[in-house]
Structure 1
Amino acid sequence: MKLIPTAPTAKGPADRFTGDVYLNVLHSGEVPSRLVAAVVRFTPGARTNWHSHPLGQTLHCTDGIGIVATRDGRAILMRPGDTVHTPPGEEHWHGATQDNMMCHLAMVEQHHGESATWLEPVNDRDYAAAHTQTQR
């Protein structure tokens, strides 16, 4: 057993995120572990680019209200305590709603050293459509 020092907060890179996103890496697996886990905080309107994960991804919302959406137009509204899993290879994005911050725990496994394939930014039309679909 060992205590892992707290990693400094890093700003999410502009080539992977729209808006202000902040990351704290919790764990980056050492062989044989493949786990990568991070706390990710999104300001209102902030979101990831489209992306996929070779072995899938699990997101657990800890605070605020967020959205997870897929290329086929499905969208899920995430609230504290909700967990969403995206299967291997499914292109998706996630982020805060327009009016709320959102924080989630992101968990993925590396496959041959890679944990994600990053794609283009989510356009405003797709972001707005996900909001419309998740209104309740």
Structure 2
Amino acid sequence: MTNTEFEQIFPTGDPNEAYAEFFIGQSYLAPLTGGNVPVNNVTFEPGCRNNWHIHHGEDGAGEQVLLCTAGSGWYQAEGEEPISMVPGTVIRIPAGKKHWHGAKADSWFSHVAFMTPGEGVSNEWLEPVSDEIYNTL
């Protein structure tokens, strides 16, 4: 299946070139809204995942919400079991929690993502999720 054959309710978007260095595999980004709370549809080809990363923020800012809209993927926080994401799965990630997310090896995956705005909001990109870890899922 190609990204043009992958059925989802939001656009796939363009290749996510701006953040490509923080992904293994190809991801796509489709901005859905702008403003104070940007909302994006992120699509991952099979096997694509982002690096471990941390969202920072102060006083409730910097929390991330992921809402799976199509396909099947993984979310994992450091030290926790991975969570299988299928359409309708919602994950709330507190600021300061090291985590990663991406497609399963045999499935395209899309999620809508947004972060709570406020003071000190930033992303800290860390090491890639190794094939050794990913291939155990």
- TM-score normalised over the length of structure 1: 0.79
Deviation at 1:9, TM superposition (A): 2.2
Deviation at 1:42, TM superposition (A): 0.3
Tell me what 1:134 maps to.
none
Tell me what 1:21 maps to.
27
Deviation at 1:109, TM superposition (A): 2.7
Deviation at 1:57, TM superposition (A): 0.8
Tell me what 2:46 maps to.
44
Separation in 1 of the partners of 2:23 and 2:119? Answer: 24
Tell me what 1:118 maps to.
125
Contact in 1 for aligned 2:20/2:27 (Cα 8 Å)? no
Separation in 2 of the partners of 1:64 and 1:46? Answer: 13
Superposition pairs of residues 83-122 of structure 1, within 5 angstroms: 83-112=90-119, 114-122=121-129
Q: CA RMSD in A?
A: 1.9
Separation in 1 of the partners of 2:108 and 2:44? Answer: 6
Letter in structure 2 aligned against 1:37: V
Letter in structure 1 aligned against 2:51: N
Contact in 1 for aligned 2:31/2:39 (Cα 8 Å)? yes
Separation in 1 of the partners of 2:53 and 2:39? Answer: 17
Deviation at 1:115, TM superposition (A): 3.6
Structure 2 residue ranges without an equivalent (≥5): 1-10, 57-61
Deviation track 1:32-76 (CA, whole Å, cap 9, x = no partner) reads x3x221100000000011111122210000000000011214210
Tell me what 1:9 maps to.
14
Separation in 1 of the partners of 2:89 and 2:63? Answer: 17
Identity %: 38
Letter in structure 2 aligned against 1:24: A
Separation in 2 of the partners of 1:15 and 1:110? Answer: 24
Write out the 4+ residue segments of structure 1 that deviate beyond 6 Å after TM superposition: none
Separation in 2 of the partners of 1:126 and 1:91? Answer: 15
Separation in 2 of the partners of 1:28 and 1:118? Answer: 22
Tell me what 1:3 maps to.
none
Q: Structure 1 residues 71, 28: CA separation in 2 closer, same or farther (over 3 Å shift)?
A: same
